[in-house]
């Protein structure tokens, strides 16, 4: 089993999770700053105002990447640092741009290939207040297009661009369950506003159109000169039928992936929403105008894949409630025969299942005609890790074994199944602000001691990563 000789590997982070410095150098507020200020929304009552202080420690972070042998680093920009109020007629903050320009220069000088995500969930709060943010079909795509153009122009040295991280999470967790910012949901115990039956589908549609607009700008105005590539990052679990003998479970297992991934990937690669979604959602799923479809269809130069886990899937009763977003089904850690998908972690939704990674790489490749795939996130939390102290917390053998097994599964998918996988970014470079879970859940290969000046110390998994990739990347 092997990966191609030019395979890129490294680590990933997101601006709000690591940067901190939320009041520094003219940065505007984001929906996550606002959401974190609402009591009860974050498990430990914290926020991203300091996080890992990466905004002020870029040289330290680059030195860490270099020490670990990484050849790539995926990070996101804070839109509100660059255009504090977010809009196409709002002032641009040159200090914010200069910060990212220098960061990219420094990464390249260290021999590390930057992958930039334009938006990793932290929408400028001013846009949310001005016109409803992601709910606005006219304004949001135009403001995002403008922001993208500003950034493409400022950072021509970056050759790898991702428009959005996990639009599923922005749509479902932000506008259906209310678990993520801006926290809209039909559940009035959680939010005074929101319609879980309609809003997530509107948001998903608007994100696709905004993605298409940004890609068109890149291709029309920058690609010929800068010679880069652009795509979107989608998240999804692999699925197995709860009862493989029941055709309804087999169908539901496939439908689960369609509702998570194909919701966004089908319009990009196939030019329409999945039939299973249209059948269940009817007119709640927006229709593309011809102009929108022209922007969206064919708008990926590569497929960005975020993947962590797998589920057993059981079919529903054929009568899903209006707020159902899974596709009339339920997910389970055990199947009909009592077999477990994988061991527990700190994250209720995550159980390691490396064969599922290979399975999903194949599923995507077959459905979308073998696109170039970059694995833009993959990793695990560890049950009880945050309760450990040094040096025990540095000995994350469980995480190392997760990476070992998943990387080997990916190498087999590449060499034995013909999957066109070109890069891999482990989540995450360091422990960080884990959204609604605050700092109680750790995903980092590097331990961050938040109480003692954000000190960074490599864990066992960090030190072994280069060895894992050296073993499977072909030598020229």
Question: What CATH number has the domain bearing residue 15?
Answer: 3.20.20.80
pLDDT at 363: 99
- Identify whether 3 is part of a domain: no
Banded model confidence at residue 23, pLDDT cuts 50, 70, 90: very high
Average pLDDT over residues 317-331: 98
pLDDT tens column, 32-45 = 999 999 999 999 99
Mean pLDDT of the chain: 98
C-alpha distance from residue 19 to each of 14, 75, 99 (Å): 8, 10, 12
- Identify whether 271 is part of a domain: yes
60 is catalytic: no
Which entry of 377, 434, 437, 458 is annotated as an active-site residue? 377
Domain coverage including residue 67: 8-472
- Identify whether 442 is part of a domain: yes
User: What's the token pair of residue 406?
Assistant: 């998943």
- Identify whether 387 is part of a domain: yes
Average pLDDT over residues 57-64: 98
pLDDT tens column, 304-314 = 999 999 999 99
Pick the closest to residue 170 from 219, 222, 217, 210 (CA basis): 210
Please give the helix or strand (H or E) that residue 19 lies within, else none. Answer: none
* 3-state secondary structure (DSSP) of residue 473: strand
Banded model confidence at residue 1, pLDDT cuts 50, 70, 90: confident
* 3-state secondary structure (DSSP) of residue 293: helix
Is the preceding omega at residue 154 within 30 degrees of 0, hence cis? Answer: no
166 is catalytic: yes
Which entry of 19, 145, 166, 292 is annotated as an active-site residue? 166
Q: Is the pLDDT of residue 211 over 90?
A: yes
How many domains are contained in the chain?
A: 1
Give yes or no for a contact between 306 and 377, defined as CB atoms under 8 angstroms apart. Answer: yes
- Count other C-beta atoms under 10 Å from residue 321's C-beta: 9
Banded model confidence at residue 364, pLDDT cuts 50, 70, 90: very high
The 8-class DSSP code of residue 334 comes to B
Instruction: Tell me the H-state helices in 20-90.
Output: 31-36, 58-68, 79-82
- Identify whether 285 is part of a domain: yes
Give yes or no for a contact between 21 and 27, defined as CB atoms under 8 angstroms apart. Answer: yes
Banded model confidence at residue 476, pLDDT cuts 50, 70, 90: confident
User: What's the token pair of residue 234?
Assistant: 């989608």
- Identify whether 2 is part of a domain: no
pLDDT at 457: 98
pLDDT at 288: 98
- Identify whether 237 is part of a domain: yes
Q: What percentage of the chain exceeds 90 in pLDDT?
A: 99
- Identify whether 458 is part of a domain: yes
pLDDT tens column, 66-110 = 999 999 999 999 999 999 999 999 999 999 999 999 999 999 999
Scanning the structure block, which residue is given the tokens 């990739």?
A: 469
**Residues facing 165 on adjacent strands:** 233
Q: What are phi and psi of 192, to 5 degrees?
A: -75, -15
Q: What are phi and psi of 332, to 5 degrees?
A: -145, 145
Please give the helix or strand (H or E) that residue 377 lies within, else none. Answer: strand 373-377
């Amino acid at each position: 089993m092997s990966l191609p000789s030019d395979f890129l590997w490294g680590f990933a982070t997101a601006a709000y999770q690591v940067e901190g410095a939320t009041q520094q150098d003219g940065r505007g507020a984001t929906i996550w700053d606002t959401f974190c200020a609402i009591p009860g929304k974050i498990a430990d009552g914290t926020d991203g105002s300091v996080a890992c202080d990466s905004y002020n420690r870029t040289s330290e972070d680059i030195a860490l990447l270099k020490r670990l042998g990484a050849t790539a680093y995926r990070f996101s920009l804070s839109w509100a640092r660059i255009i504090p109020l977010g809009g196409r007629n709002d002032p641009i903050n040159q200090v914010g741009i200069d910060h990212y320009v220098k960061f990219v220069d420094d990464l390249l000088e260290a021999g590390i290939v930057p992958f930039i995500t334009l938006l990793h969930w932290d929408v400028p709060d001013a846009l949310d207040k001005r016109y409803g943010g992601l709910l606005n079909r006219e304004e949001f795509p135009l403001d995002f297009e403008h922001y993208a153009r500003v950034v493409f122009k400022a950072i021509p040295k970056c050759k790898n661009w991702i428009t959005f991280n996990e639009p599923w999470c922005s749509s479902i967790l932000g506008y259906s369950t209310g678990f993520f910012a801006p926290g809209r949901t039909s559940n009035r115990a959680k939010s005074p506003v929101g319609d879980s039956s309609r809003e997530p589908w509107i948001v998903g549609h608007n994100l696709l159109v905004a993605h298409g607009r940004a890609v068109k700008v890149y291709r029309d105005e920058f690609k010929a000169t800068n010679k880069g590539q652009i795509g979107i990052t989608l998240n999804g679990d692999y699925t197995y039928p709860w009862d493989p003998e029941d055709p309804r479970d087999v169908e539901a297992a496939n439908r689960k992936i369609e509702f998570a991934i194909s919701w966004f990937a089908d319009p990009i690669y196939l030019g329409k929403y999945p039939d299973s979604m249209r059948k269940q959602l009817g007119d709640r799923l927006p229709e593309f105008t011809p102009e929108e479809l022209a922007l969206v269809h064919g708008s990926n130069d590569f497929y960005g894949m975020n993947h962590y886990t797998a589920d057993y899937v059981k079919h529903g009763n054929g009568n899903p409630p209006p707020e159902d977003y899974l596709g009339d089904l339920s997910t389970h850690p055990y199947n009909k025969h009592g077999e477990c998908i994988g061991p527990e972690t700190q994250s209720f939704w995550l159980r390691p299942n490396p064969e599922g990674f290979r399975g999903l790489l194949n599923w995507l490749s077959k459905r979308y005609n073998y696109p170039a795939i970059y694995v833009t996130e993959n990793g695990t939390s560890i049950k009880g890790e945050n309760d450990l102290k040094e040096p025990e917390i540095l000995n994350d053998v469980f995480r190392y074994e997760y990476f070992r097994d998943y990387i080997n599964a990916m190498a087999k998918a590449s060499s034995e199944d013909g999957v066109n996988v070109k890069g891999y970014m482990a989540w995450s470079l360091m422990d960080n602000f884990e959204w609604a879970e605050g700092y109680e859940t750790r995903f980092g290969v590097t331990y961050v001691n938040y109480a003692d000046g954000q000190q960074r110390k490599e864990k066992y998994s960090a030190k072994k990563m280069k060895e894992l990739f050296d073993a499977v990347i072909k030598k020229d």
